[in-house]
Amino acid sequence: MMETDGKIGHYGLYTTRVVLAPDHKTAIHNAIDLIKNEEDFKMLLLNSADDPPLLSVEDIEEVDQPLYLNKKLSGYTLYPENKTTH
């Protein structure tokens, strides 16, 4: 649950993160952990303890040189998953 534009509801989000990992499975795990531990992400959430957010990875791309590894990527593109309430 999140609040955006004064409306509370379930929202999905897109974001980009760069992680260093030996394989795809570990990269997915590391990316999800990275986002879950970001203060900006935690501040968006209105979920109760018994309704944690569900995060999944839609796409992963392997690069030869981690050009962005030392850059802090941030921000989220939110979209409503269902009808929001006021």
Number of other CB atoms surrounding residue 74 within 10 Å: 11
What integer pLDDT is reported at residue 83 of this predicted model? Answer: 56
Please classify residue 85 by burial: count the beta carbons closer than 10 Å to its beta carbon, then call 0-12 exposed, 13-18 middle and 19+ buried: exposed
Asked, for residue 48, whether it belongs to a domain, the answer is yes
52 vs 67: which has the higher pLDDT: 52
pLDDT over 90 at 6, yes or no? no
Number of domains in the chain: 1
What integer pLDDT is reported at residue 50 of this predicted model? Answer: 92
* Percent share of the chain, pLDDT over 90: 45
Q: Can you give the residue range of the structural domain that contains 27?
A: 2-80
The CA angle 16-58-44, to the nearest 5 degrees, is 55
pTM: 0.80
Rounded CA separation 29/83 (Å): 30
pLDDT over 80 at 67, yes or no? no
